[in-house]
Amino acid sequence: MKLSVIFEEKPQSWGFRGDPYFWDYLKEHAENMDIITPDELESWIKDEFFSVSGKALTDTYGDFAVIQQFAHGGMSSGGVDNLWWIEEGIPLLKNRLNQL
């Protein structure tokens, strides 16, 4: 089983317009990865965020990164919301991993 299985079902809501594209980016990279621990997953997501944005994924309110490769139009185009990933995205994915 590959790690990408936890990305199959997308969330109902997102922080900014770039969040679904970052989700897809992670899913694509996870297709070649075996299952890892929830803590390893969180570290991996934070490392990937830094890799594409040059910024740390922190829980600072209002912090976000604009990532050109995820920009596809709209007011928050390319924006990836740190707080959404810390409070929603990562916990959701860790929970799915725990259920496997």
The pLDDT tens digits of the residues spanning 17-66 come to 889 999 999 999 999 999 999 999 999 999 999 999 999 998 876 677 77
* Residue 78 forms part of a structural domain: yes
pLDDT at 91 over 90: yes
* Residue 56 forms part of a structural domain: yes
Predicted confidence at residue 70, as pLDDT, reads 81
pLDDT at 13 over 80: yes
Question: pTM of this prediction?
Answer: 0.89
Rounded (5°) CA angle 94-96-99: 110
Total domains in the fold of the chain: 1
* Residue 93 forms part of a structural domain: yes
Burial class (CB in 10 A: 0-12, 13-18, 19+), 89: buried
* Residue 16 forms part of a structural domain: no
| CA pair distance 15, 85, nearest whole angstrom | 8
